[in-house]
Structure 1
């Protein structure tokens, strides 16, 4: 009898308990595309939606500090990428500082860019010039080495918060309010790597990029890049997580693997991600850009990928 009562109570809880936020989100993966005739070789490391078909994109190896503007046309039913082209560079007039992340603040009509070399987040006008404003550094980011510094950047207009994180080692996620004051700091624990780092010619495992959602949660892309000594057999593992700050919970939404071997040359190291327009069915597009290392050895490509995000507040 006690067992029956407990079972009845458990079933009742299942019906009255609210559905967890992260359980609502779903991702539909679309193909990746390259546009070598309209997007020149680059080291594209960050992307943000400007509105319409326009996106601002940063490169960590551009000659000057600033951003490119891409026109990316989508299928508004599926979110598939139809075309993409680079329509120009907007320079700040300063030297590149290893620009990694970029975020557009439509409330102020300005753009924020994070630099890994100086670990600073600077504000820019739509023409690429600097406004002079800089996000004050928190103590955790002041001590970061240059090659493991600020990586990702995302602004959420609903909450008026700017989010960033460093790439690897000990990962900290930080948010700032509209007055550029630190709000939240979270230590993030990455998944255990799958590859054997000791066997790699080149290896990287860390956070590639993030997106801040309206409900205060975050999408995070973990990626593991493995290059063996012979180069053939290289791969990138990508995992997209829905992270709930404060609860230290993360839930896997999507994962994919790209390779460089005798039968496949779709290797893509995705470093930039942003939310794009709302599709016809109310879902949201996620756009990602890959760093091809300037189309290394004529083999790597500047891939762009889209995902379709459904059933959530974004």
Structure 2
């Protein structure tokens, strides 16, 4: 019996067309593969005491941290406003070679003073440096919240890793800049705490810690706030996109102090597709509430052309997608003012490490706390095979 025309078409699809479709599907998914975190495993805690002195500077206010994989070093920015010493960042060693962190695994090995474009130190109270991110050019970007009370604007500047000299400055969109009439811009001390760069060094991300004045209210007990994630194109050094990030409402526990604060203090780029980790931190009267989320921007709306979110129908805006990975309040030790995070080295079992660091506010009742975690991830290949299984009959 001869082969019919219908059977020849089937054979052509099976032996020629399907392999091409499969290869294209596989390649497109590998090319866009991203890190999917399924959980965080705690692997240790260490701390540095408040009042510790290194090279005639007091170590403290460490509010952002970034990892230098090439040299196995960490750089941590101090938010000291020049009261203890000029604006600076520290170089740390954190030993995770045994797969865990303890009090003997931390050492300070360097301090770098920040210099302006004229090779001068920054005057006291002129900066509030909060975020730090390492580039592939032996430089770091550093963000400052400024001071709205003194009409000092925030900044995002690039500094030499070796000399600390300012090399370039990124333009900040006007909607973020404060006005004297307080009708728009960042709120004081609630600006650019976060800073991170994508692995391909093409994008830089920062965010307002709370809502811009024209976007809505600051966080308060039982209510979240509308932050903006700001994305820069590092090939042009220009702002490119903005995204709405809604923080979670935090239930207030016992509050004997009458104080409350909550917001978004840091972001960490996981890949080149807009997947990040975020920290949300709240002070609830007694201790801190710290939450780690996985964030996806790929399907979020670009709101850079929206100057004010007040009065907008937010149901028509797709915000950053969030997935809670860890509520750190579950641990049986006290949390300090954790507000910086970075990926560390690969551990001996091949898994990725994550480091968190706290700002002790130079307060004798606090400490510089460092926590280490192991990222539990689902491999890209496994996800691809699962998608293929869904597609196959």
The normalised TM-score by structure 1 is 0.81
Q: Per-residue deviation at 1:44?
A: 1.0
> What residue number does 1:53 align with?
72
> What residue number does 1:150 align with?
192
Is 1:222 aligned with 2:280? yes
202-211 or 26-35: bigger deviation: 26-35
| Matched position secondary structure for 2:349 | coil
Query: Would the aligned equivalents of 2:43 and 2:99 in 1 still touch at CA under 8 Å?
Result: no
Query: Would the aligned equivalents of 2:36 and 2:377 in 1 still touch at CA under 8 Å?
Result: no
Q: Per-residue deviation at 1:157?
A: 2.5
Q: Per-residue deviation at 1:21?
A: 6.7
> What residue number does 2:133 align with?
103
Query: Would the aligned equivalents of 1:291 and 1:302 in 2 still touch at CA under 8 Å?
Result: yes
Query: What are the equivalent positions in structure 2 for 1:70-85 lying under 5 Å apart?
Result: 70-78=92-100, 83-85=105-107
Query: Would the aligned equivalents of 1:289 and 1:304 in 2 still touch at CA under 8 Å?
Result: yes
Distance 1:156 1:76 in 2: 28
How many residues were matched structurally? 283
> What residue number does 2:142 align with?
113
Question: Alpha carbons of 1:49 and 1:313: their partners in 2 closer, same or farther (altered >3 Å)?
Answer: farther
Query: Would the aligned equivalents of 1:119 and 1:146 in 2 still touch at CA under 8 Å?
Result: no
> What residue number does 1:132 align with?
167
CA RMSD of aligned residues (A): 2.8
The normalised TM-score by structure 2 is 0.65
- For structure 1, the 5+ residue unaligned runs are 1-17, 228-233
Which of the residues 28, 31, 34 maps onto 2:44?
Answer: 31
Query: Would the aligned equivalents of 2:205 and 2:229 in 1 still touch at CA under 8 Å?
Result: yes
Distance 1:203 1:185 in 2: 27
Larger radius of gyration between Structure 1 and Structure 2: 2
> What residue number does 1:285 align with?
353
Query: Would the aligned equivalents of 1:268 and 1:290 in 2 still touch at CA under 8 Å?
Result: yes
Give CA-to-partner distance per residue, 1:141-164, whole Å, 9 cap, x none. Answer: 222133111110011232521110
Give CA-to-partner distance per residue, 1:27-78, whole Å, 9 cap, x none. Answer: 1123321133787551111111123431111111153223111111113535
Name the structure where strand makes up a greater proportion of residues.
1
Give CA-to-partner distance per residue, 1:211-237, whole Å, 9 cap, x none. Answer: 01114211001111123xxxxxx2111
Distance 1:43 1:115 in 2: 13
